[in-house]
């Protein structure tokens, strides 16, 4: 018998397509832009090691929980919880993630737009006409141009999602993810053969434990979460399109492993480049846009490598952006019963409009502060630091405490099931509480 929900999810992923799409979601600006600069800020290799530990003890179990909820609930991030539990208030909690995804998408598309602009100006050589890269970035971010690029990114995402899951999301990831690997390997070969590359590799891979602090541990945890796209309903939404025969535990390991592999590649590209020209990897969020061009300028065929580098960023951002936008789109389709076409256009348009103030807030016409943050920073702060941990907590509590048949649904039995439950019940909630208190500043007094 084909039920209503079956009908809505008939358009789903193939086994390989699912893994690639989920890796596409997790590998994004988080790996290529945020990971290198926070690793630089928090001391290099020791931070990286912590990140791996967090990925295993908190990321992996929650990833499996989200995918299992989606596949069993066969709904969006909210209705899946209702379908499993039979209680509508769980759905109300799920809506929090849907709102979070909507907010993240609004400014993620802005940053993705920057990477498209940088790809273009790298290839045309315009970026290298004037050696003041900080000035170049500020002049660009301060103009109206980012809005056009943001609109372009939104249109691309709308176009891909419009085609649906297998012909849109899967088809694009099937091409883009292998393309990413090829370009990354080329860039890595270039980076590790630069003069002084060894110093960058050591910074990234030789841990100095004296540099570790409680603060770096919480930052590593928060990043493991962001990097695996958790707490935003993304993996629940993708889980709903997964075939019942596919092994979710194996899939989760492949996704987390893929995410880690891209982080390693990114580190092996960025740190050797940064050290080769004597730059500091601690320069923060501007590392990629303002510091790296100095290094590309110094190498032969620099604009080519710089163009390839920004293409990687743009592609990685795009495959994540479609997974974020799919969360509210799936919600409109499954909970409000909108047609996919209507949902994609309307949700996309609303998201674009919400993102415009962010696009204009980084030194642009709307950069005035609201309290202590710009509009852009508020969006990021509320979505990444408040909603994401709350969304993660809802998933952990639902799977660890409320859902009695989670093990069966995930395909885990015996000792592996007990390890999973132990992590979900007794480890993950406290770690999430830690991230929440830390990233909202409520723990700051401990670090002073």
Q: How far is the CB of 125 from ligand PHE (least distance, A)?
A: 28
The residue behind tokens 């600069």 is 37
CA distance 318 to 315: 5
Residues 276-335, interacting with ligand PHE (CB under 6 A): 320, 323-324
Q: How far is the CB of 70 from ligand PHE (least distance, A)?
A: 14
Q: How far is the CB of 119 from ligand PHE (least distance, A)?
A: 17
Q: Which of 8, 21, 29, 127 binds ligand PHE (CB under 6 A)?
A: 29
Q: Which of 109, 232, 270, 428 binds ligand PHE (CB under 6 A)?
A: 232
Q: How far is the CB of 267 from ligand PHE (least distance, A)?
A: 14
Distance of CA 428 to the CA centre of its chain: 19
Which residue number is nearest to ligand PHE in terms of Cβ? 30
Contacts of 76 (CB under 8 A, 6+ apart): 94, 98, 233, 236, 237, 240, 327, 330, 331, 333, 334, 335
Q: Which of 19, 24, 26, 43 binds ligand PHE (CB under 6 A)?
A: 26
Residues 73-112, interacting with ligand PHE (CB under 6 A): 104
Is residue 31 near ligand PHE by the rule CB under 6 A? Answer: yes
Task: Find the part of the chain contacting ligand PHE (CB under 6 A) among 61-69, 224-232, 240-248, 282-290.
Answer: 224-232
Q: Which of 227, 237, 319, 374 binds ligand PHE (CB under 6 A)?
A: 227
Structure tokens at 298: 């110094």
Task: Find the part of the chain contacting ligand PHE (CB under 6 A) among 13-21, 130-138, 161-169, 225-233.
Answer: 225-233
Is residue 28 near ligand PHE by the rule CB under 6 A? Answer: yes
Residue count at the site for ligand PHE (CB under 6 A)?
A: 15
Nearest 5°: phi and psi at 404?
A: -70, -25
CA distance 414 to 421: 11
CA distance 310 to 110: 15
Contacts of 192 (CB under 8 A, 6+ apart): 201, 268, 272
CA distance 331 to 100: 13
Q: Which of 9, 18, 25, 335 binds ligand PHE (CB under 6 A)?
A: 25
Residue 74 three-state SS: coil
CA distance 390 to 231: 7
Q: Which of 102, 140, 226, 289 binds ligand PHE (CB under 6 A)?
A: 226
Q: How far is the CB of 392 from ligand PHE (least distance, A)?
A: 11
Task: Find the part of the chain contacting ligand PHE (CB under 6 A) among 23-31, 83-91, 289-297, 342-350.
Answer: 23-31
Check: CB of residue 274 under 8 Å from CB of residue 291. Answer: yes
Q: Which of 78, 234, 303, 399 binds ligand PHE (CB under 6 A)?
A: 234
Is residue 72 near ligand PHE by the rule CB under 6 A? Answer: no
Q: Where are the beta strands (DSSP E) in 344-383?
A: none
CA distance 40 to 269: 13
The residue behind tokens 């998933």 is 395
* Bridge partners for 370 per DSSP: 373
Query: Residue 69: how many CB atoms within 10 A of its CB?
Result: 30
Is residue 30 near ligand PHE by the rule CB under 6 A? Answer: yes
Structure tokens at 280: 């500091």
Q: How far is the CB of 248 from ligand PHE (least distance, A)?
A: 18
Q: How far is the CB of 263 from ligand PHE (least distance, A)?
A: 9
Q: How far is the CB of 250 from ligand PHE (least distance, A)?
A: 20
Q: Which residues bind ligand PHE (CB under 6 A)?
A: 25-26, 28-31, 104, 226-227, 229, 232, 234, 320, 323-324
């Amino acid at each position: 018998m084909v039920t209503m929900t079956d009908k809505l999810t008939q358009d789903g992923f193939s086994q390989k397509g699912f893994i690639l799409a989920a890796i596409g979601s997790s590998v994004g600006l988080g790996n290529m832009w945020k990971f290198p600069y926070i690793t630089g800020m928090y001391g290099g290799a020791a931070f990286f090691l912590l990140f791996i530990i967090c990925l295993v003890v908190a990321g992996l179990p929650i990833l499996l929980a989200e995918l299992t909820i989606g596949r069993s609930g066969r709904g969006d991030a909210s209705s899946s919880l209702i379908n499993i539990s039979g209680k509508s208030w769980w759905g109300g909690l799920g809506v929090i993630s849907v709102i979070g995804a909507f907010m993240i998408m609004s400014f993620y598309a802005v940053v993705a737009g920057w990477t498209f602009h940088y790809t273009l100006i790298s290839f045309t050589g315009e970026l290298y006409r004037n050696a003041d890269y900080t000035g170049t970035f500020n002049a660009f971010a301060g103009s109206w141009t980012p809005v056009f690029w943001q609109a372009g990114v939104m249109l691309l995402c709308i176009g891909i999602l419009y085609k649906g899951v297998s012909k849109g999301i899967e088809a694009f990831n099937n091409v883009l993810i292998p393309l990413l690997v090829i370009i990354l390997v080329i860039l890595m070969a270039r980076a590790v053969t630069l003069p002084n590359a060894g110093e960058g590799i050591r910074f990234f891979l030789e841990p100095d434990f004296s540099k570790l602090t409680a603060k770096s541990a919480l930052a590593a945890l928060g990043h493991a979460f962001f990097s695996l796209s958790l707490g935003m309903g993304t993996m629940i939404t993708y889980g709903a399109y997964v075939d019942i025969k596919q092994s979710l535990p194996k899939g989760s390991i492949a996704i987390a492993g893929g995410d880690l592999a891209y982080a390693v590649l990114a580190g092996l590209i960025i740190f050797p480049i940064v050290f080769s020209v004597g730059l500091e990897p601690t320069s923060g969020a501007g590392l990629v846009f303002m510091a790296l061009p100095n290094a590309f300028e110094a190498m032969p065929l620099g604009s080519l490598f710089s163009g390839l580098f920004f293409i990687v960023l743009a592609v990685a951002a795009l495959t994540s952006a479609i997974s974020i936008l799919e969360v509210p789109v799936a919600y409109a389709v499954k909970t409000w019963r909108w047609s996919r076409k209507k949902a994609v256009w309307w949700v996309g348009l609303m998201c674009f409009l919400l993102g415009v103030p962010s696009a204009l807030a980084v030194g642009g016409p709307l950069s005035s502060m609201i309290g202590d943050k710009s509009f852009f920073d508020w969006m990021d702060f509320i979505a990444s630091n408040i909603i994401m941990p709350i969304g993660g907590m809802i998933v952990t509590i639902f799977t660890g405490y409320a859902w009695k048949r989670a093990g069966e649904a995930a395909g885990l039995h015996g000792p592996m099931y007990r390890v999973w439950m132990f992590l979900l019940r007794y480890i993950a909630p406290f770690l999430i509480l830690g991230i929440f208190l830390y990233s909202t500043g409520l723990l700051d007094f401990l670090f002073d």
